[in-house]
Amino acid sequence: MIPELLSLIGIAAFAVSGAVVGVRRRLDLLGVVVVGLATGTGGGVLRDLALNVSPPAAFTHWPTLAVAVGASLGVFVLHGRLSRLRRLELVFDAFGMGLFAATGASYALDRAAGPMAAVLIGTLTAVGGGVIRDVLVNEIPIVLRRELYAISALAGAVLTVALVAATGSLPLSTVAGVILAVGLRLISLWRGWHLPAPKNR
């Protein structure tokens, strides 16, 4: 129950980040909804393909669709009042990423995936929506550009899987994983933390 709820919040957060990109790129109403929907549901569809859940939940579970479309429409209607679109996109993307890292991992465990597969599927779910969004609008994916992005997703998924093994509680472990992934990403954005880059030659 709690993982499902967190997953829906993640869908909304990612859909907002996608719709904000659509507004920033001046797409029309439907383009904004399409990017929002693809960003909000893309990670979960990849997760379901990897786990052989058919059809993927996004195609059969109406709340998923309603939340993603509703969040995108909300951005389209309200965008005139929104300022600093780029910052908004990054913050909502951080929440989507962190929520999906933990809920993707717990979803995989719940479907009998092993610990390594659960960690990797959680990470894939977390970064997948953002990659789809950025590839659609022809930008370098945020996972390649930004401070501690994939590492935050990986940390959240690892913590979730480790805590499930230690405590047996899926809901608590998922919440802890979300807090770690979102917190690490937001702090690294705020403080400008980053990993070493290749030196100029």
Q: In the complex, which residues of this chain contact its own copies (CB under 8 A)?
A: 22-23, 25-35, 45, 49-52, 54-56, 58-60, 62, 65, 76, 79-80, 108, 113-114, 116-117, 120-121, 124, 127, 131, 135-141, 143-145, 148-151, 194-199, 201
Question: Which residues, in sequence order, are CB contacts of 184 under 8 Å at separation 6+?
Answer: 148, 151, 152, 155, 156
Looking at beta carbons only, is 35 or 94 nearer to its own copies?
Answer: 35
Query: Cα torsion for 130, 133, 136, 137, to the nearest 10°?
Result: -110
Looking at beta carbons only, is 58 or 189 nearer to its own copies?
Answer: 58
Looking at beta carbons only, is 5 or 49 nearer to its own copies?
Answer: 49
Question: Which residues, in sequence order, are CB contacts of 8 under 8 Å at separation 6+?
Answer: 63, 64, 67
Q: At its nearest, how many Å lie between its own copies and the CB of residue 142?
A: 10
Q: At its nearest, how many Å lie between its own copies and the CB of residue 161?
A: 13
Looking at beta carbons only, is 25 or 179 nearer to its own copies?
Answer: 25
Q: Are 124 and 87 in contact (CB under 8 A)?
A: no
Q: Which DSSP state fits 200?
A: P
